[in-house]
Homo-oligomer: A and B are copies of this chain.
Amino acid sequence: MIVEVISIGDELLIGQTVNTNAAWMGTAMREIGADMDFGTVIRDEENDLRDAFERALTRADVVLVTGGLGPTKDDITKHVLCDYFNTQLVENSDVLEHVRGFFEARGRKMLDVNIMQAHVPEKATVLHNEFGTAPGMWFEENGKILVSMPGVPYEMKYIMREHVIPRLQARFDLDKLYYQTLQTQGIGESYIADRIESIENEVREAGFALAYLPSPGSVRLRIASRDTEGNRKAIAGFIDLIAATMPKHAFGKEEDTLEEVVGKLLREREETVTTIESCTGGAVAAKITSISGASDYFNGALITYSNEMKTQLVGVDPAILDDQNIGAVSQQTVEQMAVGGRERMQATYGVALSGVAGPNGGTDEKPVGTVWIAVAGPKGVFSKKCLFESNRERNIRRSVLTALNLLRCEILGLNQ
């Protein structure tokens, strides 16, 4: 079963609204094993609507249309649908009653334009919209299905969940898709490809699809296949095999985040962490505390932005900071920050960062993007020099992820 989404609305095309509806429907279709092969965004314009319906019904089995059903004048979808399916609008008493109740419950006056919402194409099956006044409409012709729904996200989702998905499942013999995702940090797409080349070939020979989904500082690997018991097991095997080739980088599965993974490890071990941040200015601590319940393993942290504060708050040796050949962005400094901060804050682990976030402040020896990260813990202190890029925001983001991953590796004994 091939599905196409048509999203109607100027606000989507001019970027005033991001098309989250299409993403939600894509996920919903994937979950029931339907293939979402096309997405189209068009204006509220008669010819464009007609063309899009025609094209979609030619190449897909099911066309999900959102938007263009509001009471205001720029919404012409219903009229074009009538025309397209050669039918006419008739008043639907169930819908009218619902619309009336809707306004009564809110103590508001029903307007003529609202009464018009109870006029539906005669050929369409009406899909009740509990949360709004525009009903969903289900058309069937020549074995193809077109469903028109309002663009308001929670109304669309209600109609999809209550009506469209159950009807599609009853109607089509769907071969559900199965996915597993591996989350990695600190290794680029092409390096992963190089490292897992033979596994990747096996994955493809097994008929599965492997996708690389990169974002700054991390790459997700996703393997997909038809959902069968055997395939699930095989994919899980491949994911574990890939993870085993890079234990320092593969930190989680599915929607895991580093802050969750690290938080879970710390809670299990009844350990705590503190951060001593310079170039990231609190971003690592903010990430750690973005998780509800972080107080179980995080008591506080220090932001030592200036050299003075590095000395005053965590006792970094001023001689090191003043030494032109060492300075604030150095192994010595970041290790002293980590060790000193860990003691000061009485934490199991101290994570320290000092670097040149940019875009200014770089030198030949320490270009923008140079970041030293150290983790101090019961086993001592481990540090690493990173060379990121020229963009401040991405340097900070990559520093945060790298620091959290180094902490994870330290907890698990993977750093040496």
- Chain A residues within CB distance 8 Å of chain B: 7, 10-20, 22-30, 36-43, 48, 55, 70-74, 105-108, 111, 113-114, 131, 152, 154, 188-191, 193-194, 200, 209-214, 216, 222, 275, 277, 279-286, 288-290, 292-295, 298-306, 308-309, 313, 345, 357-360, 367, 387, 389, 391-394, 396
Contacts and interface: CB of A to CB of B under 8 A. Distances in A.
Given A12-B22, A282-B303, A309-B345, 16 more contacts: A14-B36, A15-B26, A18-B18, A19-B19, A38-B48, A111-B191, A111-B194, A113-B193, A131-B391, A277-B282, A281-B289, A281-B290, A285-B303, A289-B303, A290-B393, A302-B302
B13 A39 contact: yes
Given A281-B286, A281-B290, A286-B280, A12 B30 contact: no
B71 A189 contact: yes
B38 A14 contact: no
A282 B292 contact: no
Nearest to A11: B213
A298 to B, nearest CB: 6
A280 to B, nearest CB: 7
Nearest to A13: B36
Contact of A106 (B16, B36, B211, B387): B387
B48 A43 contact: no
B26 A12 contact: yes
Among A22, A55, A214, find the residue whose CB has the most chain B CB atoms closer than 10 A.
A22
The quantity of this chain's copies bound in the complex is 2
Contacts of A213: 11, 16-17
Contacts of A282: 275, 277, 281-286, 289, 301, 303
Nearest to A312: B300
A295 to B, nearest CB: 6
Contacts of A22: 12, 15, 19, 41
Shortest 6 CB-CB contacts between residues of A and residues of B? A281-B289, A282-B282, A39-B41, A15-B26, A15-B27, A282-B285
A105 B188 CA distance: 15
Given A211-B74, A282-B285, A302-B300, A387 B107 contact: yes
A203 to B, nearest CB: 11
Among A37, A281, A387, find the residue whose CB has the most chain B CB atoms closer than 10 A.
A281
A121 B282 CA distance: 45
Given A210-B74, A212-B74, A283-B282, A292 B14 contact: no
